[in-house]
Structure 1
Amino acid sequence: MSEEVTTANPVPEAKPKAKVEKVKQPTVEELPFSEFIANHYLPALAKAFANLGITDLNLQLEDLQIKGNWKNQIRQFIIYFAKQDINGQKAFSCWDAGSQPSVIEPFLIDERKATLDLLVFAVVQRLNAQKWLAAN
């Protein structure tokens, strides 16, 4: 009886790769409230209005309110934030012809996570429902 002996070349053990921890950059929505609003939201909102042909839009952040107006303040709106959190409670009002807002309505109440695009889209849609932005 002959025994067959095979010698296998031992496979060198693979060295574990060094774990490189990537520092996750915060999304724009994770930035501090005032930085998000000033550097991202207001410019995105202005761009959305400009794309609709509205070039005289004035936007400003006062406390926790974003105030917007155009057509020499004939058309106006306010987005109210309950606290410095874009995912917190929000409200909206709009009015025209020099009157004051008569109704403050809940705004994006069913959304769990507000994104920049959603916040812009919601304002445009709400004002478009007033037939202020485009012919419906």
Structure 2
Amino acid sequence: MSEEEQKKPAAKAKKEKPPAVEDKPFPEFMEGHYVPALQTALQEQGIEDLQLQFVNGKFPPSLKIAEECPQVKGSWLGGRRQFTVYFPGEDIKGPKFFSWAADGTQPSSIEGFLGDERRINLDLLVFGVVQRLNAQKWLALN
């Protein structure tokens, strides 16, 4: 080794970045990150009796779609306000749908949810639900 090579400091090993939470397996991301983050965000909006769960279920009966898919279901005010976010491809980057219902009725329609976004991440998924519920005038700070 030449004298010049000996004087050079050893190259620092690059620190490997941990994988993004969005890259975790779908069920782990949903249960470990999305549901808790959504719970916190909605509680910060004044919802006190929120029931939030990650389940595998069917689409609303009114739509006559028999398929089951992963869903995040939320309800409060004793179940008088309800929403569901559907993930038919078990992938946060794939198609997602949203429905809502009030006063114990079944949702009559499902709308596309965050379909135009290029980069889907945890914060955007949480923000999307808060924004959608805010548009319904369902949040306390509205």
How does the TM-score come out when normalised to structure 2?
A: 0.82
- Taking the aligned partners of 2:89 and 2:35, their CA distance within structure 1 comes to 17
Any unmatched runs of 5+ in structure 2? 57-69
Equivalent residue letter for 1:118: L
CA contact (8 A) 2:83 2:100 kept: yes
- Taking the aligned partners of 2:12 and 2:90, their CA distance within structure 1 comes to 36
Name the count of aligned residue pairs. Answer: 127
Aligned residue number for residue 53 of structure 2: 60
CA contact (8 A) 2:45 2:141 kept: no
Aligned residue number for residue 128 of structure 1: 134
- Taking the aligned partners of 2:141 and 2:12, their CA distance within structure 1 comes to 56
- Taking the aligned partners of 1:60 and 1:107, their CA distance within structure 2 comes to 18
Structure 1 runs (4+) deviating above 4 angstroms are none
Structure with the higher fraction of residues in helix conformation: 2
Q: CA-atom RMSD, angstroms?
A: 1.9
What's the offset of the Cα at 1:135? 5.6
Aligned residue number for residue 93 of structure 2: 87
What's the offset of the Cα at 1:19? 5.7
Any unmatched runs of 5+ in structure 1? 1-9
Q: Larger RCO: Structure 1 or Structure 2 (Cα < 8 Å, ≥ 6 residues apart)?
A: 2
Aligned residue number for residue 12 of structure 1: 4
Aligned residue number for residue 29 of structure 1: 22
- Taking the aligned partners of 1:39 and 1:135, their CA distance within structure 2 comes to 27
Percent of aligned positions that are identical: 56
Larger Rg over CA atoms = 1
